[in-house]
Amino acid sequence: MNRMDEAFKKIRAAGETALIPFITVGDPNPAVTLDIISEIEAAGADIVELGVPYSDPLADGPVIQRASERALRSFVTIRTCMETALQARQAGSKLPFVLFTYYNPVLQMGLDTFIQEVVTHDISGFIIPDLPIEESEKIRSKAKAAGVHLIPLVAPTSHERIENIVRDASGFVYCVSSLGVTGERTDFYSGIEPFLNTVKQLTDIPVAIGFGISSREQVARFSEICDGVVVGSAIVRQIEAAIPLLEKAETKAQGLQQIREFVSQLKGSKVHEG
């Protein structure tokens, strides 16, 4: 069974909700990304999204854009991100990995090669925010045949379009909590609960929510009505703030501890010393 499916099965059986952190691979460098994966796993993360840095991240707000810029300065590519996932696995990580990438790097790699590399590097699924449902059938069918998930993004829209997007969804459905790009928010789309209920009525697979969620209170709120909660910009901001510590050997552990404590707070769990 796909690692993501196993994770959601266990989480549902326990009556819990998955915490799904997003990080940009290579921010501030690939070696530290491996340390961050270890820390957020220890903090209680259930699945992790590995963001591929991209020069024109249309769905991302300024915090993740800056992270992409830092990673690109280290020449991080989609292949670097895949290698990072495999290295984390070899270091003992049990987390399901989801690759968050725009479509251009996938096209440059070639669809067959991309799917093969996703499998080879033990990545459970991928999200392509700029690939519309109308153009996704080819890669979706290849992913399904390989046993990995193309995870759809669905924003508040018509019932007909929501139904069309989730009909062939696998892994989980990623519901967008707010219109616009990623970024921390205090307010969400006013019809968010009816929107989530509509999605849940149209699919039996897990439903997760993301975009703008940044506090324990918000995670707790959406945990009542979703199978998973994605937190991106708030964690990436914590990493950004910790960079001066992460880049020095004598303070690296302190910077990593700050990131772990933040993720533990989001999860609602105590920090365990590693």
Q: What is the pLDDT of residues 109-125, one digit of tens each?
A: 999 999 999 999 999 99
Give the pLDDT of residue 165: 94
Q: Residue 195 falls within a domain, yes or no? A: no
Q: How many CB atoms lie within 10 A of CB 19?
A: 26
Q: Residue 63 falls within a domain, yes or no? A: yes
CA–CA separation, 23 vs 100, rounded Å?
Answer: 10
Q: Residue 12 falls within a domain, yes or no? A: yes
Give the pLDDT of residue 189: 63
Is 134 noted as a catalytic residue in this protein? no
Q: CATH no. for residue 94?
A: 3.20.20.70
Lookup: tokens for 170 = 């696998």
CB of 48 closer than 8 Å to CB of 100: no
* pTM score, whole prediction: 0.92
Q: Is the pLDDT of residue 60 over 80?
A: no
Is 49 noted as a catalytic residue in this protein? yes
For the chain, the domain total comes to 1
Count Cβ atoms within 10 A of the Cβ of residue 150 and give its class: 0-12 exposed, 13-18 middle, 19 or more buried.
buried
Query: Catalytic: which of 5, 27, 49, 227?
Result: 49
HSE (side-chain half, CA atoms, 13 Å) at 133:
16
Q: Residue 83 falls within a domain, yes or no? A: yes
Confidence at 1, pLDDT banded by 50, 70, 90: confident
Q: Residue 137 falls within a domain, yes or no? A: yes
Dump pLDDT digits (tens) for 171-203.
999 999 865 444 444 556 678 899 999 999 999
Of 72, 129, 74, 138, the closest CA to residue 99 belongs to 129
Dump pLDDT digits (tens) for 128-173.
999 999 999 999 999 999 999 999 999 988 899 999 999 989 999 9
Q: Residue 207 falls within a domain, yes or no? A: no
Query: Catalytic: which of 60, 117, 184, 240?
Result: 60
Residue span of the structural domain in which 261 resides: 3-150+225-266
* Four-CA torsion 249, 253, 258, 260, nearest 10 degrees: 130
Q: What is the mean pLDDT of residues 236-247?
A: 96
Grouping H, G, I as helix, E, B as strand and the rest as coil, residue 20 is strand
Give the pLDDT of residue 181: 44
CA–CA separation, 247 vs 118, rounded Å?
Answer: 30
Q: Residue 77 falls within a domain, yes or no? A: yes
* Amino acid letter, 21: P
Instruction: Evaluate the CA torsion angle 242, 244, 247, 249 in order and state its sign.
Output: negative
